[in-house]
Amino acid sequence: MPIYEYACMSCESHFEELVRSDETPACPSCGTDKVKRQLSVFARHGSTPQPKLGAPAVRAGGGCCGGACGGH
């Protein structure tokens, strides 16, 4: 049985549940069955660099850590 991520439409809590694909769990916070399965993202651990998706590579020196915020 897979683990699915859910969001409650009543109390807006988020939770994971181990369920069969045809079952809908009740929210553990409020008990309602008005929950919606969320799209899960897989995580991978290791030393291989992961590609950056969506944006071009950012050069070092930008942002607050690089001193660009003006808080000298």
Q: pLDDT digit string (tens) for 32-43?
A: 999 999 877 666
- Residue 66: pLDDT above 80? no
Amino acid symbol at 3? I
Identify whether 50 is part of a domain. no
Identify whether 16 is part of a domain. yes
**Domain span including residue 10:** 1-41
- CATH code (residue 25): 2.20.28
Which of the residue ranges 4-13, 28-37, 60-69 would you say has the lowest mean pLDDT? 60-69
Number of domains in the chain: 1
Identify whether 15 is part of a domain. yes
The gap between the terminal CA atoms of the chain, to the nearest Å, is 54
Cα Dmax for the chain: 57
Identify whether 31 is part of a domain. yes
Identify whether 34 is part of a domain. yes
pLDDT of residue 44: 59
Span 22-49, average pLDDT: 82
SS3 content of the chain, % helix, strand, coil (to 5): 5, 20, 75
Strands (E) in 1-72, as ranges, are 3-8, 14-18, 35-37
pLDDT of residue 26: 95
Identify whether 63 is part of a domain. no
Q: In whole angstroms, give the CA distance from residue 37 to residue 19.
A: 11
